[in-house]
Amino acid sequence: MEQVWDRMENWTQSIIKKPAQGMEVMDWWEKKLAHLSKKARRLKAALMIHGAWNIWKARNKRVFEKKTMTPLEVMQEIKAEMQCRNMACGRPELSSFND
């Protein structure tokens, strides 16, 4: 689902970049969140979590339910979950974050 990460990068104005090929998730997580302010870390972590979670759910649908989701459909799910998060927790300021 590299195309989903590419779409995430575009949507988040490069806050999120796809993991390097073969990189362990924990290494990617720690590297991308190190040395960020608390506010920036919380935003980036939320975006990373929603991206990874929805890619995982799309994979499970494909494997267990034989249903395939397009990268656009996965992005729609990510955006819908982020919208729910925003309504519950407040909207993070994407424009105030620089990576």
Q: Per-residue confidence of the chain (99 residues) as pLDDT tens digits?
A: 799 999 999 999 999 988 888 989 889 999 999 999 998 998 899 999 999 999 999 999 999 999 999 999 999 999 998 888 888 877 665 554 443
Cα-based distances in Å from 94 to 30, 59, 60, 66: 20, 28, 30, 35
Closest CA to 10 of 58, 47, 54, 55: 47
Q: Tell me if 19 is assigned to some domain.
A: no
Q: Tell me if 61 is assigned to some domain.
A: yes
Q: pTM (2 decimals)? A: 0.82
Cα-based distances in Å from 44 to 18, 62, 97: 13, 27, 9
Q: Tell me if 16 is assigned to some domain.
A: no
- Structurally, the chain folds into a number of domains equal to 1
For residue 58, what are the domain limits? 48-90
Cα-based distances in Å from 53 to 34, 82, 83, 97: 21, 12, 15, 22
Q: Tell me if 60 is assigned to some domain.
A: yes
Q: Tell me if 42 is assigned to some domain.
A: no
